[in-house]
């Protein structure tokens, strides 16, 4: 079998790739909707993979892996990797989890990322109402994640919440030392959410990036009595192209509240110090940014050797990304907690992706399916209507 073509299109908001072979088997993968600009970067890799046997996944990846980088520039490499596994599974008639070593678990726990109503404001009452609606969601999530601090608009909307100028723009541009007012506001909002969720549903907190060490430690220590699941990306995080494991270690050693990071990190080499230094308690690589699902599995196993937990990121990975997360999460060691649940957006994505169970999530878990490859397929007839005019993605 040989790769004959690499295609990339935008379906709805998401870049989608297709690897075509000479045996009429195609592999698919999906990229976050915020990265529509990534299409030319995907096509950069085409001459590297044409003519290769797609079932020799690692051989193909050795040609392109070194040519990616931290989020968002690892997305193209990651998507190609997942599409290769999709082909390998279809060609062998096996689900991808079989090719990755087989199942450790028959169902995988997910935490709520994508099933969330709009947050009406940034008061404790607003946060309480918001997580109550998520708690009532039909998926029955056992873990809910909420944005606080510098992640989202909480502190930027509260005058005098931190020392520094408020900057506007995407991707969490603010950073600074919390004031007493800012610290107390975060605490009140977290307490309000915990009052709603109680002991039945775990609360994970997406915090930054943007915290400095003194504020991170103060917040983490103040939250210890509330038993939150983790504090995510306090120092670095989304779209930050470095790791700072020595700085994270300062925070992690100062508190019993679990510290989490990793969604933006590309490749195993960039997790090495974070894990070996025990700089955090939990890592959260995203298969659509870290280099793919085999890369994520390697990192999870290395983390397990060091008693570091893993809760993979995935909120924007779409329905094909969801399938990839299910396949790899079924194979991860017992340091696995849950992965972040992505959804189809717009809703018509559920009409163009075949193979998903209905409902997908039951009582916070997804049962691992046994269909070949990633176990889902783009419905060509239905998906064609959403292609850009003149696009030859399916031709």
pLDDT, tens only, 190-219? 999 999 999 999 999 999 999 999 999 999
Q: How much is the pLDDT for 162?
A: 97
The count of domains in the chain is 2
Q: Give SS3 for 20.
A: strand
- Shared domain for 234 and 168, answered yes or no, is yes
Claim to verify: residue 265 and residue 374 sit in the same structural domain: yes
Query: Is residue 327 a part of any domain in this protein?
Result: yes
140: phi > 0 → left, psi -120 to 50 → alpha, else beta; which?
A: left
What DSSP string runs through 133-153? HHHTSTT--SEEEEE-TTSSS
Do 171 and 236 contact (CB within 8 A), yes or no? no
What is the C-alpha separation between 54 and 168, in angstroms, rounded?
44
Instruction: Please tell me whether residue 58 adopts helix, strand or coil conformation.
Output: helix
Residue 35 lies in a domain: yes
The stretch 147-169 carries a mean pLDDT of 95
40 inside domain: yes
Question: Is residue 395 assigned to a domain?
Answer: no
Going by pLDDT thresholds of 50, 70 and 90, the confidence category of residue 126 is very high
- Kindly give, in sequence order, each residue whose CB lies less than 8 Å from that of residue 226, ignoring residues fewer than 6 positions away: 190, 191, 194, 203
Specify the length of the chain in residues.
395
Please tell me whether residues 59 and 137 are part of one structural domain: no
pLDDT band at 377 (very low <50, low <70, confident <90, very high): very high
Report the DSSP beta bridge partners of residue 259: 231
Residues 78 and 116 in one domain: no
67 and 50 share a domain? yes
Per-residue model confidence (pLDDT) at position 184: 98
Q: What angle do CA 155, 158, 164 make, to 5 degrees?
A: 65
Class of residue 50 by CB neighbours under 10 A (exposed 0-12, middle 13-18, buried 19+): middle
Specify if 393 maps to a domain: no
Residue range 111-137: average pLDDT?
97
User: Which pLDDT tens digit goes with each residue over 380-393?
Assistant: 999 999 999 999 99
Averaged pLDDT score across all residues of the chain: 97
Characterize 167-194 residue by residue with b for buried, 16 or more Cβ atoms within 10 angstroms of its Cβ, and e for exposed. eeeeebebebebbeebbebbbebbebbb
| Distance from C-alpha of 380 to C-alpha of 384, rounded to nearest angstrom | 6
- Radius of gyration of the CA atoms of the chain, in A: 21
Percent of the chain with pLDDT over 70: 100
Same domain? 59 vs 128: no
CATH for 19: 3.30.390.10
Beta-carbon contacts of 76 under 8 Å, excluding residues fewer than 6 positions away, are: 17, 31, 38, 41, 42, 44, 45, 68
Model confidence at 378, in pLDDT bands (50, 70, 90)? Answer: very high
The CA distance from 19 to 32, in Å, is: 18
Which three-class secondary structure state does DSSP give residue 23?
coil
The residues near 78 (Cβ < 8 Å, ≥ 6 apart) are 29, 31, 68, 287, 288, 289, 290, 291, 292, 295
Confidence of residue 245 (pLDDT cuts 50, 70, 90): very high
For 33-89, what is each residue's pLDDT tens digit? 999 999 999 999 999 999 999 999 999 999 999 999 999 999 999 999 999 999 999
pLDDT at 119: 96
29 & 176 share domain: no
- Which one-letter DSSP state was computed for residue 37? G
In a domain, 130, yes or no: yes
What CATH number is associated with residue 114?
A: 3.20.20.120
Beta bridge partners of 29: 17
- Residue 206, SS3 per DSSP: strand
Task: Please answer whether residues 367 and 357 qualify as being in contact, where contact means their C-beta atoms are separated by less than 8 angstroms.
Answer: yes
Task: For residues 112 and 78, state if they share a domain.
Answer: no
Both 88 and 222 in a single domain?
no
Structure confidence at residue 69 (pLDDT): 98
Task: List the one residue out of 336, 283, 289 whose CA is nearest residue 108.
Answer: 336
User: Looking at the structure, do residues 53 and 105 belong to the same domain, yes or no?
Assistant: no
To the nearest 10°, report the CA torsion of 60, 62, 67, 73: 70
- What average pLDDT does this structure show over 145-156? 96
Phi, psi (degrees; rounded to nearest 5) at 269: -60, -30
Q: Could you give the CA distance from residue 148 to residue 159 in angstroms, rounded to a whole number?
A: 15
Is residue 391, in this structure, part of any structural domain at all?
no
> For the segment 303-352, what is each residue's pLDDT rounded down to a tens digit?
999 999 999 999 999 999 999 999 999 999 999 999 999 999 999 999 99
What pLDDT sits at residue 152?
A: 92
64 & 151 share domain: no
To the nearest 10°, report the CA torsion of 100, 101, 106, 112.
-40
Domain range for 12 is 3-93+380-386
Q: What integer is the mean pLDDT of 154-165? A: 95
Whether 320 is covered by a domain: the verdict is yes
pLDDT at 344 (0 to 100): 97
My answer on whether 193 and 324 are in the same domain is: yes
DSSP-assigned letters across all residues of 314-330? -TTSHHHHHHHHHHHHT
């Amino acid at each position: 079998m040989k790769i004959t073509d690499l295609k990339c299109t935008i379906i709805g908001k998401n870049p989608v790739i297709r690897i075509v072979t000479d045996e009429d088997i195609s592999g698919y993968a999906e990229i976050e909707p915020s990265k529509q600009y990534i299409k030319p970067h995907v096509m950069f890799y085409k001459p590297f993979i044409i003519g290769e046997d797609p079932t020799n996944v690692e051989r193909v990846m050795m040609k392109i892996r070194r040519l990616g980088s931290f989020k968002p520039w690892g997305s193209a490499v990651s998507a190609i990797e997942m599409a290769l596994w999709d082909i390998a599974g279809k060609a062998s008639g096996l689900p991808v989890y079989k090719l990755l070593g087989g199942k450790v678990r028959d169902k995988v726990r997910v935490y709520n990322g994508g099933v969330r109503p709009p947050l009406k404001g940034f008061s404790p009452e607003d946060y309480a109402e918001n997580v109550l609606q998520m708690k009532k969601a039909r998926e029955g999530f056992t873990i809910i994640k909420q944005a606080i601090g510098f992640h989202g608009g909480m502190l930027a909307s509260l005058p005098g919440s931190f020392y520094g100028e408020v900057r506007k723009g995407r991707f969490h541009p603010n950073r600074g030392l919390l004031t007493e007012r800012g610290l107390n506001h975060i605490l009140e909002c977290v307490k309000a959410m915990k009052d709603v969720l109680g002991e039945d549903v775990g609360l994970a907190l997406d915090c930054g990036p943007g915290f400095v060490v003194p504020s991170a430690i103060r917040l983490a220590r103040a939250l210890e009595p509330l038993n939150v699941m983790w504090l995510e990306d306090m120092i670095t995080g989304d779209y930050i192209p470095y790791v700072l494991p020595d700085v994270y270690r300062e925070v992690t050693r100062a508190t019993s509240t679990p510290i989490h990071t990793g969604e933006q990190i590309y490749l195993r080499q960039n997790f090495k110090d974070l894990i070996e230094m025990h700089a955090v308690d939990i890592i959260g690589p995203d298969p659509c940014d870290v280099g793919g699902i085999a890369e994520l599995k390697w990192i999870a196993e290395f983390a397990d050797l060091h008693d570091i937990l893993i809760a993979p990121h995935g909120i924007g990975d779409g329905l094909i990304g969801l399938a990839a997360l299910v396949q790899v999460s079924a194979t991860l060691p017992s340091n696995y907690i849950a992965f972040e649940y992505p959804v189809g957006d717009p809703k018509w994505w559920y009409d163009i992706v075949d193979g998903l169970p209905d409902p997908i999530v039951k009582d916070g878990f997804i049962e691992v399916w046994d269909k070949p490859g990633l176990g889902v397929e783009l419905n060509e007839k239905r998906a064609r209507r959403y292609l850009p005019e003149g696009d030859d993605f399916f031709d």
